[in-house]
Structure 1
Amino acid sequence: MNTAMRLSAYGAAVVLLGAGAYGTGSAVDAPTTHLQPTAQSGPAGHGGSHSGAVAEVGAPEPGGPASNTTQPAGLASTEAGYTFVPATTTLTPGKPTELAFRITGPDSKPVTAFDVEHEKRMHLILVRSDTADFQHLHPVMSADGTWRVPVTLGGGGTYRAFADFTPSGGEATTLRTDLFAPGAFTPVAPEPNRIATAPGGYQVWLEGDLKPGQAGELTLSVARNGRPVTDLQPYLGAYGHLVALRGGDLGYLHVHPEGTPGDGATTAGPQIRFAAEVPSAGTYRLFLDFQHGSQVRTVQFTVPTTGAVAAAAPVASAPSAEAGHAHGEGGH
């Protein structure tokens, strides 16, 4: 894995924290204009073996640099003739349900031939508009081109699903669709943090800074009950996977770490390193998936590009739990 890999290396753009997502008492039928892209640029690169910059999006944060209106990939439901078509846009929260969809091609027929990328033919990211409910899923396709995956939504609200795939003979593509779960919800505003926890006594420390337009190394150190974890297990061909979601405009990036299990140079923990480059100033939510004890764990961080919280060194005592929560992939 190239050490200069950008955060845009896997999925070229997704969702996060639309303006107004931190209001209170919002219902599912509340305005969702904050989830709509204002413009769509040409396709951006995507996937571990694909290149492409993620352009700056939306309005800048107060005191931040001016932004243009170019949108990254993954904010459109149709691109290059491919369309994300959900079977339904309404899901029942709080209990197991099924998310089903098709990808139609330039001929408007369901696509049934996909290349394997990172050990799967389809990667699906499902996130609530405030990022309090996050899931990385891998649907299964039937012969007619319908993808299905069981999901359990944490509560009511507006959700966005991102389909990350490569049609055989085509380019890697990320498409989105909006979904709705009936019922009121109170959005969560995550606080900046550099220490995250997962069930089972896991703690993860984040070191490094997000520098707009500049490559910088992020190091995530995994411990369990205060002891470094040195036997991480490969998951989708890597020791860790990172999704970054930019606050204010739903911009999404998904990457894999430097190195590959079994390459003779990459250790199985405790550290997982990423070369991260974010496209603009702002606050980002980072979700790390890692596998240990034959189970995938998900931890989350909230990191501003300016005024970053000082990194903390691993210690024996467990840190306090972070604000909010994230769901890992069911049945990881």
Structure 2
Amino acid sequence: MNTGVKITAFAAALAATFGTAYGVGKGVGPVGEPAKAEHGGHAAAAPKEEGGGHGGHEGHAEAANAPAAGGLQVSENGYTLALDTPAPAVGRSTLKFSIKDATGRKVTAFTTEHGKELHFIVASRDLNVFRHLHPVKAADGTWSVDADLPAAGAYKAFADFKPAAAGAKGVTLGADLSVPGAYAPKPLPPVAPVADVDGYQVRLGGTLDPGKAGELRLTVTKAGKPVTDLQPYLGAYGHLVALREGDLAYLHVHPNEGGPGPDVSFTATAPSTGTYRLFLDFQHEGKVRTAAFTVRAGATGAVGATGETGATTGAGHDAGGHAHG
């Protein structure tokens, strides 16, 4: 569709109302089942397979084992993501937000995880723009960070954190951003085995299975040679974020022991079948780069990745207001 659409804050709010989820299957490969409506942030169970076989029973079992998808709610477990700047301008602008507790007070104490008190992600709803940001917290609990949002359209912001309160659990909240202006969504990049990023090649292997933990392996090379001196970033040799197409459900992906390259390994469980975007941040020679991949979970096959360059397609990294890659 070439015709631009005028985006307003009201339109972006409506977009959040019609998020989609996918039925549960297994494996990775061709596109899974058509999207089904999601209720209360929980993925719908898989439809029965044609022919009346036992696939439906397996689907229900995997649905029971699937992790809860994060980032689908603006409020959860008594905490709310409150955006002070829900409609930033195109280009570089300052985003401000806070985490509020059940009484409406701003939370000021957080537990440090992966080197940060809070991880803040901004992604366009077409998943062509990705920003992993490192906001600064003021004494009153207000967070702020500069971000480069290159085009008008609908975006989603994620706050991944663990309050310091006794017994508090980790929470991922999501809220909508709207960048006003003429908007034409881009298609999702196709599946391909390698991503080219700033002169580096990153190959993706392993499995992303609905309802079952699997290993994702990313191998970093440069000029055909393995990169064996990756530098620690956020407490590991890589940081991986996965977002589901449609509703932008956020996956918690855990790094495994290893390093310093060329392989970086993660354990991940998809909450459902469907198409996902994976964003790998890795650091080498003092600079953080982001490799982006499209993966389809839901049928047997090998994991694939998009061959794209983070700097030109919008997959990127901001730290304290300074862009990387």
TM-score (norm 1): 0.76
Q: Is 1:89 aligned to 2:86, yes or no?
A: yes
Corresponding residue for residue 103 of structure 1 = 99
Distance 1:59 1:298 in 2: 33
Report if the CA contact (8 A) 1:287-1:299 is conserved.
Answer: yes
Report if the CA contact (8 A) 1:123-1:138 is conserved.
Answer: yes
Q: Is 1:139 aligned to 2:139, yes or no?
A: no
SS in 2 for 1:329: strand
Q: Is 1:250 aligned to 2:248, yes or no?
A: yes
Distance 2:80 2:45 in 1: 23
Cα distance, 1:285–1:310 mapped onto 2, change above 3 Å: closer
Letter in 2 for 1:135: R
Distance 1:320 1:160 in 2: 22
Letter in 1 for 2:126: D
Corresponding residue for residue 194 of structure 1 = 193
Distance 1:117 1:250 in 2: 22
Cα distance, 1:302–1:73 mapped onto 2, change above 3 Å: closer
Q: Over aligned residues, Cα RMSD in angstroms?
A: 3.0
Cα deviation digits, residues 87-133 of structure 1 (max 9, x gap): 12110012x21000111112211111111111111100100100111
Cα deviation digits, residues 43-100 of structure 1 (max 9, x gap): xxxxxxxxxxxx535998x9997898x9733211112221111112110012x21000
Corresponding residue for residue 74 of structure 1 = 71
TM-score (norm 2): 0.78
Percent same amino acid at aligned positions?
45
Corresponding residue for residue 316 of structure 1 = none
Distance 2:262 2:176 in 1: 37
Report if the CA contact (8 A) 1:206-1:221 is conserved.
Answer: yes
Letter in 1 for 2:5: S
Q: Is 1:304 aligned to 2:302, yes or no?
A: no
Distance apart, 1:301 and its partner CA? 0.6
Corresponding residue for residue 283 of structure 1 = 275
Report if the CA contact (8 A) 1:34-1:249 is conserved.
Answer: no
Cα deviation digits, residues 27-54 of structure 1 (max 9, x gap): 313465442355336xxxxxxxxxxxxx
SS in 2 for 1:35: helix
Cα distance, 1:133–1:268 mapped onto 2, change above 3 Å: same
Cα deviation digits, residues 246-284 of structure 1 (max 9, x gap): 12222111323211xxxxxx2300011122221221111
Distance 1:119 1:307 in 2: 36
Cα deviation digits, residues 143-171 of structure 1 (max 9, x gap): 11110001110100011101111111122
Comparing 22-31 and 139-148, the one that deviates more: 22-31
Cα deviation digits, residues 160-213 of structure 1 (max 9, x gap): 1011111111221111211110112221221112210111x1010011232222
Cα distance, 1:182–1:125 mapped onto 2, change above 3 Å: same
Letter in 2 for 1:279: P
Structure having the higher strand fraction is 2
Corresponding residue for residue 273 of structure 1 = 265
> What are the residue-to-residue correspondences of 1:42-57 with 2, within 5 Å?
56=43
Distance 2:45 2:104 in 1: 31
SS in 1 for 2:237: coil
Q: Is 1:328 aligned to 2:325, yes or no?
A: no
Unpaired stretches in structure 2, ≥5 consecutive residues: 20-37
Corresponding residue for residue 237 of structure 1 = 235
Report if the CA contact (8 A) 1:83-1:105 is conserved.
Answer: yes
SS in 2 for 1:110: coil
Q: 1:212 aligns with which of 200, 210, 213?
A: 210
Report if the CA contact (8 A) 1:215-1:275 is conserved.
Answer: yes
Distance 2:173 2:75 in 1: 7
Distance 1:226 1:117 in 2: 34
Report if the CA contact (8 A) 2:291-2:309 is conserved.
Answer: no
Distance apart, 1:140 and its partner CA? 0.6
Corresponding residue for residue 26 of structure 1 = 5
Structure having the higher helix fraction is 2
Aligned residue-pair number: 282
Corresponding residue for residue 50 of structure 1 = none
Distance 2:12 2:138 in 1: 35
Q: 1:295 aligns with which of 287, 290, 300?
A: 287
